[in-house]
Structure 1
Amino acid sequence: MDESVKEKYAGQDVVFKCLGENILQNAFEGYNACIFAYGQTGSGKSYTMMGTADQPGLIPKLCSGLFERAQKEENEEQSFKVEVSYMEIYNEKVRDLLDPKGSRQSLKVREHSVYGPYVDGLSKLAVASYKVRIHFMKGLC
């Protein structure tokens, strides 16, 4: 890697420290979390989000951190429920990446008067462990 590129390079750990830690903290404070990766083809969005087996990306690090912290903090008075949606917007088409039917139909973005924008028909799956998350993500990237 060229020295000028190395200066500007942010590895997976740096990305997680800068973005992931705050997202995780906010989730435990009761806020929904959303990651929006935008950029031209080949700019590194998928790598940053998913990473590799040796260098896990933001999503695997968030999932791991989420379940580790939930396990530590769960007790008789406090329990956790994790729900996941995973979508792609490409060429102005919204696609559900967790669609159990595997359909490639384009979904519509709507707006609720109280809750705000949402994707009509987007899967929302309950996830009980990090291993379940890995099962869902295999084959998507």
Structure 2
Amino acid sequence: MGYFVLHEDVYVATTKNLIDGVIAGYNATVFAYGPTGAGKTYTMLGLDSEPGIYIRTLNDLFRAIEDSTEDLDCSVYMSYIEIYNEMIRDLLNPSSGYLELREDAKGEIRIAGITEFSTCNAKEIMALLTKGNKQRTQESTAANKTSSRSHAILQA
């Protein structure tokens, strides 16, 4: 008999405590790792009836921005890419072809030509994620008929 963990439990144990730091200006990363078929994509995306890490984090992030007593000047931008066979594709603008990593004038590594969308709520981001997920590379494997064969990165 398998062990089933609710998305809420995973979110509270791994990610919820990062929100305050993000509001304070720190970067945060949530990384799902495991073998094919382990539930990485499911844990991050979830379902309408059981939202995953993405939607829970974004809802709490926008709520924290709204509830902040400080005079914050916040803008939230998102991008969504896939890395497959060492190639980078923009999932929100797949017609842009493969993108390259470049160093900017400040010495920071950037993805040249990436599309960034300005968003004001988690629902907009989820709509963009749904659009982007339709562009992901999928192949059948022995363990999973519709395995997402790429690494997807949501940056908000």
TM-score (norm 2): 0.71
Q: Deviations over 1:61-119 (max 9, x none)?
A: 111111111111166x32321111211112222111222xx316221123447453322
CA distance, structure 2, for counterparts of residue 95 and residue 20 of structure 1: 26
CA distance, structure 1, for counterparts of residue 9 and residue 61 of structure 2: 18
CA distance, structure 1, for counterparts of residue 90 and residue 18 of structure 2: 22
Is the contact between residue 103 and residue 110 of structure 2 (CA under 8 Å) also seen in structure 1? yes
Count how many residue pairs are aligned between Structure 1 and Structure 2. 133
Structure 2 CA distance for partners of 1:121 and 1:73, relative to 1, 3 Å: same
Q: SS state of the match for residue 95, structure 2?
A: coil
Is the contact between residue 19 and residue 57 of structure 2 (CA under 8 Å) also seen in structure 1? yes
Q: State yes or no: 1:11 paired with 2:6.
A: yes
Q: SS state of the match for residue 70, structure 1?
A: helix
2:141 aligned partner? none
Q: Which runs of 5+ in 1 are unaligned?
A: none
User: How far did 1:12 drift?
Assistant: 1.0
Structure 2 CA distance for partners of 1:138 and 1:82, relative to 1, 3 Å: same
Matching residue within 106, 117, 131 for 2:109 = 117
Q: What is the correspondence of 1:21-60 to structure 2 with a 5 Å cutoff? A: 21-60=16-55
Is the contact between residue 74 and residue 80 of structure 1 (CA under 8 Å) also seen in structure 2? no
Q: Which runs of 5+ in 2 are unaligned?
A: 134-156
Structure 2 CA distance for partners of 1:70 and 1:26, relative to 1, 3 Å: same
- Hey, which of these two has a bigger chunk of helix by percent? 1
Query: Which residue type is aligned with residue 95 of structure 1?
Result: R
1:139 aligned partner? 131
Is the contact between residue 99 and residue 111 of structure 2 (CA under 8 Å) also seen in structure 1? yes
Is the contact between residue 15 and residue 30 of structure 2 (CA under 8 Å) also seen in structure 1? no
User: How far did 1:38 drift?
Assistant: 4.1
Q: What is the correspondence of 1:48-127 to structure 2 with a 5 Å cutoff? A: 48-73=43-68, 77-99=71-93, 102-103=94-95, 105-112=97-104, 114-127=106-119
Q: Identity rate of aligned residues, in percent?
A: 30
Is the contact between residue 80 and residue 129 of structure 2 (CA under 8 Å) also seen in structure 1? no
TM-score (norm 1): 0.77
Q: Specify which structure has the bigger relative contact order, considering alpha-carbon pairs within 8 angstroms and separated by 6 or more residues.
A: 2
- Hey, which of these two has a bigger chunk of strand by percent? 2
Bigger drift between 57-66 and 127-136 goes to 127-136
